[in-house]
């Protein structure tokens, strides 16, 4: 009995001693501890009044907002860097309707930061320039507006085997210019109304493929007509394969990267045939790009040609093609 009582007294005394020993440490951190390691658990220092505590500044996000004119895919691949650079370069310039159309379509396709980028693009005072080439006003307006219409869903085709390269040294003369304008106007008119006479004239034109820029504009007009339901799939598919095969042969004949190379690549992509662009030409486009987002101005026309290709035209075409290569790579990975 005495032993149990003695033990109870001993336990009580031990507890009192422990409390007395720990009292100086209550409410304080052990020496060397990090007060930030438990955010939200420690109270404000007692030296702050209630008003001072309420006035303490909220922590701010130090990440600055991105410039919409400098979008990024946030990838360190050479393809993504080339796309970012080209987009940044085009955002510094007023763009002609054709380049504006290309860039807007890229923004729609890539999304993300490129959505704000496409909305920041500036359209040049183009009317006198294009009217001088013979484009009617309604065709010019249609070109600018058609970018917002969803592109047609096109089934990729197998790459044809055993194609012979077709090098095409070329003089861009008055007759070539008329051919380009004629077929482009037919395609643009299809974005406004599918007049039977316009559709018939377009199909007759496409049945006789041209070369170089005439051929690329034939493909442009073909896809526009199909996009706006002016021609049927039965009419579209044979012409798509036919024109694209000749275009690929011409592309294979390019030994340096020029504006025309970029246009061939872009129009293959627009026709849903990005998979037809040889890997060597994708690498050539990336390797030839300059740090400022431009491509070198390589002469594509002969000395008697009546037009030249401005660097922003080449950049718009290359951006269009490379963006679609990127999209195909991303789709394959997911």
Please write the tens of the pLDDT for every residue from 23-74.
Answer: 333 344 444 444 433 233 333 444 444 444 454 455 555 555 668 889 999 9
Note the pLDDT of residue 299.
Answer: 65
Give the percent of the chain with pLDDT over 70: 73
pTM over 0.85: no
When mean pLDDT is compared across 278-292, 293-307, 315-329, the lowest value belongs to 293-307
Note the pLDDT of residue 286.
Answer: 98
Per the document, the length of the chain is: 334
- C-alpha triplet 133, 137, 141: angle, nearest 5°: 110
CB 251 within 8 A of CB 282: no
Helix (H) or strand (E) holding 123: strand 122-123
Note the pLDDT of residue 307.
Answer: 61
Whether pLDDT at 19 is above 90? no
Structural domains in the chain plus CATH codes: 78-149+163-333 (1.50.10.10)
Note the pLDDT of residue 279.
Answer: 97
Rama region for 212: left / alpha / beta (φ>0; ψ in -120 to 50; rest)? left
Helix-helix angle 78-90:279-288, to 10 degrees: 50
Please write the tens of the pLDDT for every residue from 256-277.
Answer: 898 999 999 999 999 999 999 9
Whether pLDDT at 18 is above 50? no
Q: Residue 16 is encoded by which pair of tokens?
A: 């009192």
Provide the mean pLDDT of the chain. Answer: 81
Quick check: helix, strand or coil at residue 122?
strand
- C-alpha triplet 236, 237, 242: angle, nearest 5°: 100
């Amino acid at each position: 009995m005495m032993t149990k009582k003695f033990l109870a007294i001993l336990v009580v005394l031990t507890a009192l001693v422990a409390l007395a020993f720990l009292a100086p440490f209550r409410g304080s951190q052990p020496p060397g501890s990090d007060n930030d390691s438990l955010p939200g658990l420690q109270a404000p220092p007692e030296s702050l009044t209630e008003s001072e505590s309420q006035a303490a500044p909220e922590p701010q996000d130090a990440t600055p907002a991105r410039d919409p004119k400098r979008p990024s895919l946030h990838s360190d691949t050479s393809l993504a860097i080339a796309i970012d650079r080209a987009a940044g370069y085009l955002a510094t310039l007023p763009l002609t309707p054709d380049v504006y159309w290309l860039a807007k379509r890229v923004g729609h396709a890539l999304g993300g930061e490129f959505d704000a980028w496409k909305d920041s693009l500036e359209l040049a005072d183009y009317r006198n320039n294009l009217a001088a080439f013979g484009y009617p006003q309604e065709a010019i307006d249609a070109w600018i507006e058609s970018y917002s219409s969803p592109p047609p869903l096109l089934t990729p085709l197998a790459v044809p085997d055993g194609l012979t390269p077709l090098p095409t040294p070329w003089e861009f003369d008055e007759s070539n210019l008329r051919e380009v304008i004629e077929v482009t106007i037919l395609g643009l008119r299809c974005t406004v109304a599918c007049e039977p006479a316009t559709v018939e004239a377009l199909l007759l034109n496409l049945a006789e493929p041209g070369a170089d820029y005439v051929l690329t504009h034939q493909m442009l007009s073909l896809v526009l007509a199909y996009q706006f339901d002016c021609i049927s799939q039965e009419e579209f598919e044979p012409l798509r394969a036919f024109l694209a095969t000749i275009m690929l042969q011409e592309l294979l004949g390019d030994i340096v990267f020029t504006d025309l190379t970029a246009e061939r690549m872009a129009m293959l992509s627009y026709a849903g045939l990005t998979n037809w662009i040889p890997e060597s030409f994708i690498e050539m486009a990336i390797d030839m790009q300059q740090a400022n987002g431009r491509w070198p101005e390589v002469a594509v026309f002969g000395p008697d040609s009546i037009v030249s290709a401005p660097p922003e035209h080449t950049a718009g075409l290359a951006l269009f093609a490379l963006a679609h290569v990127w999209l195909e790579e991303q789709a394959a990975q997911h």
